[in-house]
Amino acid sequence: MELETAWVRDIDLKIRDLLEETRYTRSSGGEEEFIQPTVEYGRPEGEGEDRIQAKLPIINRRLYHVALDFERIGQNQWQTEVVEETEDEVDLKFKPIPHLLYYEITITTQFTEDLIDLQTQVIKKLPLRGALFLKDDNDEEFGVFIENVSMEDAERVHPEKTKQAESKVRRFRSVFRYKLTAELDPHDVKQYYKVKEVVIEDGGTEEGD
């Protein structure tokens, strides 16, 4: 069975889209309002920086490590396959290489209620062990294995001093770390010319009478 190729960008956009589907609630006039949190790529900003306050609650995602998946690299991994062939030339490329991707999802909130809401939804969107479904070039779904490798319990983020003042705002944080398996295409296509005729020269000498 041929493995589908999952690009890092495709996986990142899928994770972003799933996180953007999360909501936290606010009560207004006796009715609950469902609000989308801020979703960004990268590490969380410093706790003492004023600009983070306007973004709370916020979910940060980042790819923090990539490694070869030696358990899934077979003996034929380095073989090539034909991309295009003519009468005179043939284009070959290497098969996709199995990798492990490590993602970190960080939730930062001002209220514990928001943290619990978003924690619950992240676990539903990104299972502790299961599949992350992407679409191939034919718009058909295929799964990428995903597994939670660690989760830090919700903790209070203590205020930090800045050059201006000390922040007094409570903040809570939860960190999920995931491992994903993916096939990353080396995108290395090489062109070769076909050998049509082989001429063997006789290097011997004639003996005299």
The residues spanned by each domain of the chain are: 8-27+40-187
Enter the pTM of the model.
Answer: 0.73
H-helix or E-strand spanning residue 12: helix 8-20
Quick check: helix, strand or coil at residue 125?
helix
Give the CATH fold of the 8-27+40-187 domain: STM4215-like (3.30.2000)
H-helix or E-strand spanning residue 11: helix 8-20
- Beta carbons within 8 Å of 116's beta carbon, 6+ residues apart: 154
- Beta carbons within 8 Å of 81's beta carbon, 6+ residues apart: 92, 93, 95
Quick check: helix, strand or coil at residue 184?
strand
pLDDT tens per residue across all 209 residues of the chain:
344 567 788 899 999 999 999 999 988 777 889 999 999 999 876 555 555 666 889 999 999 999 988 787 765 555 555 555 566 666 666 677 788 999 999 999 988 899 999 999 999 999 999 999 998 878 888 888 999 999 997 666 665 555 555 555 678 899 999 999 887 765 555 555 545 555 666 665 555 54
